[in-house]
Amino acid sequence: MVSALTAPAQQLRELIAQSRDRAILLPGVHDALSAKIFQQQSAECLFLSGFGVSASFLGAPDAGILTLCEMEDTARRVVNAVEGKIPVLVDGDTGYGGCSNMRRAIRGLARAGAAAISIEDQIFPKKCTYSAGENGAAVVSRSASIARIKTALAAAKEAYEQDGNDVLIIARSDCRASEGLEQAISRCLEYEELGADIVYAENLQSPEEYQTLRGSLAPTTPTILAQVQLNDPNSEQRLYSLEEVHQLGYNLALFGVTALQATVHALQETASAMRRHQGILPGSNDNQSPSLSSFSNLKTVVGFPELEDFEREYFCE
């Protein structure tokens, strides 16, 4: 484990160094409470998902609607919730506009405490890769995607030299579905050459494709294998365990919206049960009712015991 006193970016570097022996689970979170719960359950790092924040903060789809200020504010609250104990990687989408917007986004998210920021090659406004249909998300040209990563890296350098905030840049390509594996690999190689700290491609189609990408990158270049658990009985989706992710040579195993899926399911079940039972839910032995946290556990999760200890020690009234 890394020290909680270490700056977030350095925490992430040290964690990636450990991934030579195992893949690191990277759960997606969407707000301060989800981040706090995963941190309490010994998560080693977290990914603040743009899909998740757009859904939870706005109740809107991940389609370029969420603004930088809203994402930056959420990132700050998530970082505060985990108290610097684990690094938080933040979804920077397409950089929220042009060159100057990218610069502002990187420096602002770094100031909020992000350990790393991901930048992708979709057009703006973007759309979640897994929601974009069979032909995939529309992407900018190769030259434009390279310009984005150059800008992000330059902004990260400014964040460190001018603001004192160390942050890593994750370069991501979403072009596999629309332009093919060869183009995805080519873009990732360009990002690697530019000096991106972490490089990956979304939505590859087989273990062989993941192996091909990994084999094309330098062994020292950290990379991510991202998955969405469709949880659809009609789907033939292939999911990869942490051990399989490690065997494929990947450092971080991202499950970006699993926590959001669990939240949506639990709230839907609870809303339905409350309507059926006129608000008063039966005990946990009733199979027709959702499982609830005890109120005591809820208080513990959000920090009442620690707060009360502090107040007793300092005589707050």
Whole-structure pTM value = 0.94
Whole-number pLDDT of residue 207: 96
Whole-number pLDDT of residue 164: 96
Identify whether residues 92 and 220 lie together within a single domain.
yes
Of the listed ranges 45-49, 94-98, 291-295, the one predicted with least confidence: 291-295
User: What do you get for the CA distance between the two ends of the chain, in Å?
Assistant: 38
Q: Which two tokens stand for residue 39?
A: 């941190």
The total number of structural domains in the chain stands at 2
Residues 6 or more apart whose CB falls under 8 angstroms from that of 192 comprise: 171, 199, 217, 218, 221
Identify whether residues 81 and 153 lie together within a single domain.
yes
Confirm whether 120 is domain-assigned: yes
Identify whether residues 189 and 309 lie together within a single domain.
no
Average confidence (pLDDT) over 169-189: 97
Return the higher-pLDDT residue of 15 and 135. 15
Identify whether residues 82 and 227 lie together within a single domain.
yes
Confirm whether 17 is domain-assigned: yes
Identify whether residues 241 and 307 lie together within a single domain.
no
Identify whether residues 136 and 80 lie together within a single domain.
yes
Whole-number pLDDT of residue 231: 87
Instruction: Name the pLDDT band for 315 (thresholds 50, 70, 90).
Output: confident
Using DSSP's 3-state secondary structure scheme, residue 163 falls into: coil
Identify whether residues 313 and 198 lie together within a single domain.
no
Instruction: Check pLDDT > 50 for residue 263.
Output: yes
Confirm whether 280 is domain-assigned: no
Confirm whether 276 is domain-assigned: no
Identify whether residues 245 and 315 lie together within a single domain.
no
Produce one character per residue of 194-207: b if its CB has 16 or more CB atoms within 10 Å, e if not.
eebbbbbbbbbeee
Identify whether residues 259 and 290 lie together within a single domain.
no
Expressed as residue numbers, the domain containing 28 is 8-264
Instruction: Name the pLDDT band for 133 (thresholds 50, 70, 90).
Output: low
CATH of the domain at 71: 3.20.20.60
Confirm whether 189 is domain-assigned: yes
Top-ranked range on mean pLDDT: pick from 228-232, 258-262, 307-311: 258-262
